[in-house]
């Protein structure tokens, strides 16, 4: 196998966390390589969603570890500042897993060596992205149609980096051609430390229903930790999937947007608008600190989800979502919640706009 020289990363490592926040006084739920994992549910990696502010909140709520958004190996090797920025994390997010994608053994290996200098606990290879521009280029879910290449990637990553290597897959490319058994075999033989399985095919994208029978079958024959992903939208479903499939952990994706309480074992429907507002505002302030610019625009996808259970707040919510000025957005949000609380005679602690 070709050797790759250690690559230089032209970024300031001081902006990245070197610490760890794993509890030292409890027994790990399981290990990924030499990395102890405490807990059995985590925030799934999602482009434009699983950023540092969201990961920090999810981790504080009980998420077992933190996946970054997926980042192109090519952009890492071009030292694209925006790509490198996606690996920024705080120590409380640990253990942090960096997720990358690509279609070349050399490119993916050099990229992994570069980002290893930023101290991830694990590096994850994305083999599940169904977006056309990624999968049709042979990356993401495209690797499900080129398992020899996927195996060589894992082998190279294991040989030329010192952190555990994992992969996130789908159960197949086409609905009538599920190749998950072969995929798991190739990845395990190549040295993968754990595998996340989205119970849909590339053809399904995010439609239909996740196939948890396939996930359970994978867990039954696999010899590495298996994580299940797909359609977990409540505490009850989360617990049932863990019990039925026997997976080591579950990944929660879209359902966690505006509902980080899933990781705490708390049903969102049991919370008051004040309790939801306090967490939403904390999330927003964290995004303002992280992004500095246009954070209120980026937060709108969360805002609508946080307050989705309050039908009598819908008109106000829709009005606020149309606001295009940051100060007006914040003031409208705060005043509308205060008015809602006064209307229903509920207790509310008035907050101020962040400086």
Residues recognised as catalytic:
129
Helix (H, G, I), strand (E, B) or coil at 233: coil
Helical spans, DSSP H, in the chain: 52-61, 73-77, 81-85, 105-116, 132-135, 147-160, 180-190, 212-221, 235-245, 273-291, 295-306, 314-321, 326-343
Helix (H, G, I), strand (E, B) or coil at 130: coil
Helix (H, G, I), strand (E, B) or coil at 133: helix
The contacts of residue 110 (CB under 8 Å, 6+ apart) are 4, 7, 73, 77
Q: Is residue 11 within 8 Å of 84, Cβ to Cβ? A: yes
Angle at 143 between CA 142 and CA 147, to 5 degrees: 140
Instruction: Tell me the DSSP string of 270-331.
Output: GS-HHHHHHHHHHHHHHHHHHH-SSHHHHHHHHHHHHTTT-GGGHHHHHHHHT---HHHHHH
Instruction: Tell me the DSSP string of 60-95.
Output: HHT-SSEEEEEEEHHHHHTT-HHHHHTT---GGGPS
Q: For residues 69 and 86, give the distance between their C-alpha atoms in angstroms, rounded to a whole number.
A: 7
In this structure, the dihedral spanned by the alpha carbons of residues 302, 306, 309 and 314, taken in order and rounded to 10 degrees, is -60
Q: Is residue 201 within 8 Å of 229, Cβ to Cβ? A: no
Torsion over CA: 181, 184, 187, 191 (sign): negative
User: Which backbone phi and psi does 122 adopt, to 5 degrees?
Assistant: -145, 150
């Amino acid at each position: 196998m070709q050797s790759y020289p250690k690559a230089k990363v032209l970024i300031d490592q001081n902006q990245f966390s070197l610490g760890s926040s794993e509890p030292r006084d409890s027994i790990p739920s399981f290990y990924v390589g030499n990395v102890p994992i405490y807990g059995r549910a985590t925030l799934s990696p999602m482009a434009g969603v699983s950023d540092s502010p969201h990961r920090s909140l999810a981790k504080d709520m009980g998420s077992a570890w933190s996946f970054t958004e997926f980042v192109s190996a090519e952009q890492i090797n071009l030292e694209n500042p925006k790509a490198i920025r996606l690996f920024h994390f705080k120590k409380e997010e640990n253990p942090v897993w960096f997720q990358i994608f690509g279609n070349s053994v050399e490119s993916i290996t050099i990229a992994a060596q570069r980002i290893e200098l930023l101290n991830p606990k694990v590096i994850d290879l994305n083999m599940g992205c169904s977006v056309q521009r990624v999968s049709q280029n042979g990356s993401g879910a495209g690797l499900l149609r080129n398992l020899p290449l996927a195996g060589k990637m894992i082998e190279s990553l294991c040989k030329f980096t010192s952190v555990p290597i994992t992969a996130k897959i789908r159960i197949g490319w086409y609905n009538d051609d599920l190749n998950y058994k072969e995929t798991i075999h190739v990845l395990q033989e190549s040295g993968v430390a754990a595998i996340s399985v989205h119970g849909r095919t590339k053809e399904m994208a995010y439609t239909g229903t996740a196939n948890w029978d396939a996930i359970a079958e994978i867990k039954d024959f696999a010899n590495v930790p298996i994580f299940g992903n797909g359609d977990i939208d409540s505490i009850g479903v989360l617990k049932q999937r863990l019990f039925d499939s026997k997976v080591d952990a579950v990944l929660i994706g879209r359902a966690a947007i505006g509902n980080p309480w899933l990781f705490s074992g708390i049903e969102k429907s049991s919370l008051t608008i004040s309790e939801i507002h306090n967490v939403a505002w904390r999330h927003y302030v964290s995004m303002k600190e992280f992004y500095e610019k246009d954070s209120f625009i980026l937060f709108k996808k969360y805002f609508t989800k946080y307050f989705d259970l309050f039908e009598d707040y819908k008109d106000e919510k829709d009005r606020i979502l149309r606001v295009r000025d940051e100060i007006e957005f914040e003031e409208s949000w705060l005043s509308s919640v205060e008015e809602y609380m006064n209307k229903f005679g509920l207790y509310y602690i008035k907050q101020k706009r962040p400086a």
